[in-house]
């Protein structure tokens, strides 16, 4: 076990102050966030698939 495992996880980042952003910037921010969500969902699906494959492989 690494000592890093014992360190507390970082908290959630502070929300961005969006009050000064124009509409186009806000729309682009939303588009970027949707892309990031899709990327994370793909990663979750891949990890679930690997976990299920490993479970089947090592199941008696």
State residue 4's pLDDT score. 64
Q: What is the pLDDT along the chain (60 residues), one digit of tens a residue?
A: 566 666 777 788 899 999 999 999 999 999 999 999 999 999 999 999 999 988 888 886
Instruction: Find out whether 38 and 30 touch, Cβ atoms under 8 Å.
Output: no
CA-based nearest residue to 29, from 9, 15, 12 = 15
Measured CA to CA, the distance from residue 31 to residue 23 in angstroms comes to 12
State residue 40's pLDDT score. 96
Query: Residue 7 gets which letter from DSSP?
Result: S
State the residue range of the domain holding 33: 19-60
* 53 within a domain of the structure (yes/no): yes
CA angle, residues 40, 9, 12, in degrees to nearest 5: 60
State residue 1's pLDDT score. 52
* 1 within a domain of the structure (yes/no): no
* 34 within a domain of the structure (yes/no): yes
Give the count of domains, the chain: 1
State residue 60's pLDDT score. 60
């Amino acid at each position: 076990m690494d000592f890093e495992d014992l360190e507390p996880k970082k908290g959630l980042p502070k929300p961005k102050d969006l009050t000064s952003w124009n509409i186009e910037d806000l729309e682009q921010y939303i588009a970027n966030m949707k892309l990031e969500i899709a990327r994370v969902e793909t990663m979750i699906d891949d990890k679930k698939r690997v976990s299920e494959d490993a479970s089947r492989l090592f199941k008696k």
